[in-house]
Amino acid sequence: MDFLRQMKVLPRWVIASLDAVILFQSAFFAYLLRFNFELEIVQQNNAFFGSLCFMLSGILVMFFTKSYKGIVRHTGFKDSMIIFRTILLNFVLISIVNIVFDKWVLGGYLLPVSVLIIAVLSSLFLLVFYRLLVKELFLYLKSGFVTNQVKVGVIFGASEAGIIANDVIKRESNSNLVIAAFLDDDPKKEGKIIEGKKILKGLENLSMLVENQGVSELIIAVRDLPLKRKKQIIEECFKYKVHVSIVPPLNQWINRGLNSEAIRDLKIEDLLGREQISLDNPQIKESLREKIVLVTGAAGSIGSELCRQIMYYNPRLVVLLDMSESALYELDLDLKNLAMVTPHQVVLADIRDENSMKSIFSKFKPDIVFHAAAYKHVPMIENYPEEAIKSNILGTKILADLSVLHHVDKFVFVSTDKAVNPTNVMGATKRAAEMYVQSLNAFLMKHHKNSYTRFITTRFGNVLGSNGSVVPLFKKQIQRGGPITVTHPDVTRYFMTVPEASQLVIEAGIMGNGGEIFAFDMGEPIKILDLATNMIQLSGKKVGDEIKIVFTGLRDGEKLYEELLNDSEKVKITHHPKIKIAQVSHVHYYKIESQLELFFSMVGKSNENEIVFHLKSIIPEFKSNVSSFEVLDRLN
C-alpha cells in the first residue's frame, strides 16, 4: 500500500503493456462471445493468431497516437478521445488487412467482421474503464485510506469555476483536502450531483456539514460574487471556525496553470467596504509609449507599484528616484528579476536638493513626472514639522518649477485624504502642495495657452499593506500573540489597495487636462476596530480569548473620521463611475508662491511653532487635534 501511495505516476511502459494485454484479451473474448464459447470452433478460426494481430496492430497505432503517454490519475475527456481515435484507427487498419488477406492471401478475413466489432467495443470500454479505475484508486488512497491527516471542505459555487476547483483538488496528489459537497445560491441546482458531490442550497446547510462531516474549509468559487454576499459567507464561516479560500478568475488561473496553489487564502482586501476598483483605459498605453517617465518616491509602496505598472506600457525609460538606498536597491533587483522589456534607471537623490534635481531633469529630460515622494506618518511628522515642510512642500515646489522649466508634459502629484480639513501637519503640508500645483497650472493655462506643463492631483485614503500602514502593524501584533492596539473604538478610515492607488495615479496622468484633483468614490469608510477583528479571525484566532484588542487613545494629529472633500468642495463626474473631480477654490499663484517661498528662509532658523503658525495662515481650515500645536489655533 505504501508503494501505491508513493508512486505518483505509472511508468509509460506499464501503461503500454497493460493496453497491449487488454487489446489481446478483448479480441480473444470477442472470439469466445461470437462463437458461443465453443472452444473447438474458436480454435478453428485461429483465435490466438487473430487476437495477436489485433494486439500488434493496436500497439503500432498507439505509437502514433501516444495514448500510453497520458498520466492515468489525471484521465479526462481528452484522454478518452485519444483512446477512441486509437481504437478507431486500429479498426481501420485491421479492416485493410482483412481486405488484403481476403483477396491475396487466405481468400477470407483475418478477423471476422463480427469479432472485430466486438473486439473494438470491448477494448474501448476496458481501456477507458481501467484508467478511470486507477484514477479513483489514487483519489481513494489520497483521501484518507493511507493517511488520517485529511481536511474536509465544501465549494461555494457549482458553476464552471467550482467544477474546475473540485477537479484540481481531486487530482493534486499533495493535497489533503477532500470536498464533501457543493453550496450554491441557485435554487435550480439544489439536490443535483456533480462528480458524486451533492449541491446544497446556499449557506443553510453549513452548520450541518460542520457538525456531521467535520467540514473545516470553504472555497469561494463564484465569478463576480457581490461584496455583500461575500461578506455574509465569510461571517458565517467565522461563526463556525471554517477557513475560507478563494479561487482566482478563470483567465488568471489558466495563465498560471491549473493547480491548487492558485487557490489563495482570504485577504483583508476581500473585506473592503466596496467592490474592488478596476480601471482599463486604452489611452494609457498610447500616452506612455516612447515617453521618459520620472517617478519620485519610487521605492515606496505606491511608487514601486507605480513603476511596475508603468513599465508594462513600454515607455522609453522609467527613472526611479528615491533617497532610500536599501529600498531602491531592492526595487532595482525586483524589476530586473521581472525581466521587463522597458529599461529603467535608478537614481539615489533627495527631492529637497535643488541642485541635484536640476541635474537629474537636465540629464533625463522627463516627459511625465509622477510625484509620490513624501513624508506621510502623521504622529512622526507632528513631532518633526520642519522636515515635512522641506519634503512635502518645498520638495514638491522644486520639482514643479523644474517641470515647467524643462517642458514636462504632465506632472501628477500624489496627495491624501488627510489634506481635506487637515488636523495634522502632514495633511496640511500636502494641502499646501495641492494649492501650489493647482495655482501654477492655472497661471500657466492663462499665460501660456498653447504649450504648458499640466499639473494633476490624485487624492485617496489609506493604502492597505503600504509601509507603516495599519495592516502590516496588525499582522505583526497577531504574530506576536497580541494585543492589537487600536487608537479609538470609533475611528474610521477609507481604504484602498496598492494596485488600486497606483492605477488611479496612472489614470489621472492620462485623463487629466490640468488643474484637477481626482478622488475615488471609495464607498463606505471602515472602522479600524472591525478591521482588527476581521484580521484576527482571518488568522484563525479568537478575538478576546487568544488575541486581545487594546484601545490606546488618538495619537498626535489624528482625527476620528477622514474626509475626501471639505465642506466647500463639490464634485464633477468623469468617464469612470468611481473617479470624481473635486472642484476647489483656487488660490492666486503669486500669493501662494510668496507664502511658500517664505518657508525657505524660515527653515533652519525659526522654531516649530513659527513654522506651523505660518502653515496655518496659508490653510485657514487647518485645526490641530490631539497636538501641541492646538494652542496656535487660539492665536488666529
Catalytic residues: 418
Output the nine-digit C-alpha cell for 65: 497516437
CA 109 to chain centre: 64
Query: CA torsion sign, 308 to 310 to 314 to 316?
Result: negative
Contact call for residues 416 and 430 (beta carbons, < 8 A): yes
Output the nine-digit C-alpha cell for 397: 515646489
Beta strands in 433-482 (DSSP E): 454-459, 462-464
Print burial letters for 519-530: b (CB count within 10 Å at least 16), e (below 16).
bbebbebbbbbe
Q: Cα(187)–Cα(425) distance, rounded to whole angstroms?
A: 56
Q: Which one-letter amino acid corresponds to residue 198? A: K
Which residues partner with 246 through β-bridges? 220, 264
Q: Cα(407)–Cα(226) distance, rounded to whole angstroms?
A: 46
User: Which residue's entry shows cell 528616484?
Assistant: 321
Which residues partner with 455 through β-bridges? 411
Query: CA torsion sign, 72 to 76 to 81 to 82?
Result: negative
> Cα 558–562–563 angle (5° rounding)?
140
What residues have CB less than 8 Å from 110, skipping those under 6 apart? 50, 53, 94, 97, 98, 101
Q: Cα(569)–Cα(510) distance, rounded to whole angstroms?
A: 23
Query: Could you give the 3-state DSSP secondary structure of residue 131?
Result: helix
Q: Cα(418)–Cα(438) distance, rounded to whole angstroms?
A: 17
Identify the CA nearest to 415 among candidates 429, 404, 425, 401.
429
Query: Could you give the 3-state DSSP secondary structure of residue 313?
Result: coil
Taking residue 347's Cβ as centre, other Cβ atoms within 10 Å add up to 19
What residues have CB less than 8 Å from 266, skipping those under 6 apart? 234, 244, 245, 246, 538
Q: Cα(97)–Cα(548) distance, rounded to whole angstroms?
A: 81
User: Which residue's entry shows cell 531602491?
Assistant: 328
- DSSP label at residue 392: I
Output the nine-digit C-alpha cell for 100: 488484403
3-class SS shares of the chain: helix, strand, coil, % to 5: 50, 15, 35
Measured CA distances, 68 to 4, 11, 20, 381, 590 (Å): 19, 9, 10, 69, 81
Q: Cα(508)–Cα(314) distance, rounded to whole angstroms?
A: 18
- DSSP label at residue 148: S
Rg over alpha carbons for the chain, rounded to the nearest Å, is 35
Which residues partner with 484 through β-bridges? 549
Which residues partner with 579 through β-bridges? 520
Q: Cα(512)–Cα(504) distance, rounded to whole angstroms?
A: 11
**How would you list the strands of the sheet with 454-459, edge to edge?**
344-348, 317-322, 292-296, 368-371, 410-414, 454-459, 517-520, 579-583, 570-573
